Structure 1
Amino acid sequence: MAERRFVLAITGGSGVSYGRRLLECLARTGAVVHLVVSEAGQKVINHELQIPLDLADGPGVIR
């Protein structure tokens, strides 16, 4: 069976809780998930989910 691969983008809308849940569900299946987060998305994650996400210099950061 082919490996399942997904790209999940968080862009700053207030639906980040749905994105988080989708990421958790996909990860449990063993799927490969690439996460793309905009600067606005990072702020919403910090505010709504209280997750201190700092992607300024992380691996795979492209500006």
Structure 2
Amino acid sequence: MTEENQPKKLCPQCSKPTVFEFRPFCSARCKQLDLGKWFNESYVIPGEETIPANDHNEE
């Protein structure tokens, strides 16, 4: 499929149409905002919290 035949997708940050160069975002700004949310741990992947193997319980 060519770019013209693909359905228009929206930027997950601001809902504007995506730009091929920055996909799935519309601009470098929206791309950086999303990355910042990952760095600040605003986004998380669900799962159980694990205890690191190097922690020892001293009782």
TMscore range, shorter length: 0.3 to 0.5
Higher helix share: 1
* TM-score relative to the length of structure 1: 0.31
Q: Give the number of the structure with larger relative contact order, counting CA–CA contacts within 8 Å between residues 6 or more apart.
A: 1
Higher alpha-carbon Rg: 2
* TM-score relative to the length of structure 2: 0.33
